[in-house]
């Protein structure tokens, strides 16, 4: 019994890997086509966004703030938030957009979320590596002091973004109001995302509130990993993990509910 269940699980896993692979190729083909640089477009937008904002900040505020390079600081903030905002924007109405694929039983609605998340994740990681490589060679970006901590922070940030998508995707199918509110919400949350400031620059009381935000915790981890002893960071590594877990559970339950009522043309 246990044995056959395990075999079923493995077979199911294989099918999902196959489906996600096929969906990714299809998504990249439809979104970027086969002309010019093709799928490399996925890294262009994060690069432009982080690069241009960093340049503006550099001109506006000078080379350094609180003893660290402004350009590097902006880049470390903008690449993760671009990942988050793109993921969320792409999850809205994701089931309706892909409904013709639900004709195939092995395609599950969760696959759509995974696929778009993986594409955004790859794009932002490629952008990060590219931009950091260029800046390091120009001596504008520090060589990460603690790569492990940085990666742990990045994973925390990404997992929480994915968890949010699990909620946004089904909710946007249920209510159009929610779909309309997404852009403004992701904009308003910017101050609570740890994008512009480190917690050590703030008053202790506001620091305490911001430490509830999974984004801030993950962002502090990443920046501590990059600058090491040059900065003071405050974070709880478990915070994004706990929030992701709760959010994912709620999100998966919502997805399940929405799938039952989804009408496919």
Partner 1 sequence: MPPCAKDAICRMIVCRNISKTYTHGGRKKVVLKDVSFTIGRGERVALLGCNGAGKTTLIKIIGGVEMPTSGKIERHMSVSWPLGFSGGFQGSLTGLDNAKFIARIYGQDYDEVRSFVEDFTELGGHLKLPVRTYSSGMRARLAFALSLAIEFDCYLIDEIILVGDQNFQRKCHKELFENRKDRSIVLALHNNDFIKEYCSSGIVLHNTGLHLYRDINKAIEYYDDISLKVSV
- Residues in contact with partner 1 by CB under 8 A are 4, 15, 18-19, 21-22, 25-26, 29-30, 100-107, 259-265
Q: Rounded to the nearest whole angstrom, what is the least distance from the CB of residue 248 to partner 1 in the complex?
A: 22
Which is nearer to partner 1, 96 or 106 (by Cβ)?
Answer: 106
Distances (CA, A) of 8 to 3, 11, 17, 263: 9, 5, 14, 28
Which is nearer to partner 1, 28 or 87 (by Cβ)?
Answer: 28
Distances (CA, A) of 120 to 44, 73, 82, 162: 11, 21, 9, 10
Q: Rounded to the nearest whole angstrom, what is the least distance from the CB of residue 47 to partner 1 in the complex?
A: 26
Q: Rounded to the nearest whole angstrom, what is the least distance from the CB of residue 22 to partner 1 in the complex?
A: 4
Which is nearer to partner 1, 15 or 44 (by Cβ)?
Answer: 15
Q: Rounded to the nearest whole angstrom, what is the least distance from the CB of residue 107 to partner 1 in the complex?
A: 7
C-alpha distance across the termini of the chain, in Å: 38
Is residue 173 helix, strand or coil? helix
Which is nearer to partner 1, 58 or 259 (by Cβ)?
Answer: 259
Q: What are residue 146's phi and psi, to 5 degrees?
A: -135, 90
Distances (CA, A) of 164 to 13, 36, 84, 139: 23, 33, 9, 36
């Amino acid at each position: 019994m246990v044995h056959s269940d395990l075999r079923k699980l493995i077979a199911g896993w294989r099918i999902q890997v196959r489906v996600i692979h096929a969906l990714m190729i299809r998504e990249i083909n439809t979104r970027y086509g086969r002309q010019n640089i093709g799928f490399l477009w996925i890294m262009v937008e994060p690069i432009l966004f982080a690069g241009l904002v960093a340049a503006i900040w550099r001109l506006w505020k000078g080379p350094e703030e609180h003893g660290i390079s402004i350009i590097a600081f902006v880049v470390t903030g903008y690449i993760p938030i671009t990942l988050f905002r793109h993921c969320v924007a792409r999850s809205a109405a994701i089931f309706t957009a892909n409904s013709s694929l639900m004709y195939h039983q092995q395609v599950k609605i969760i696959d759509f979320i995974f696929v778009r998340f993986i594409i955004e994740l790859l794009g932002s990681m490629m952008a990060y590596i590219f931009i950091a490589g260029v800046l390091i060679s120009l001596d504008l970006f520090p060589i990460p002091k603690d790569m492990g901590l940085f990666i742990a922070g990045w994973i925390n940030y990404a997992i929480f973004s994915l968890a949010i998508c699990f909620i946004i995707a089904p909710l946007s199918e249920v209510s159009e109001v929610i779909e309309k509110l997404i852009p403004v919400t992701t904009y308003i949350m910017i101050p609570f995302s740890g994008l512009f400031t480190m917690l050590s620059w703030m008053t202790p009381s506001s620091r305490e509130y911001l430490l509830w935000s999974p984004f801030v915790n993950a962002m502090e981890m990443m920046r501590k990993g990059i600058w090491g002893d040059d900065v003071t960071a405050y974070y709880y590594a478990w915070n994004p993990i706990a929030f992701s877990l709760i959010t994912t559970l709620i999100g998966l339950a919502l997805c399940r509910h929405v799938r039952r009522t989804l009408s496919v043309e």
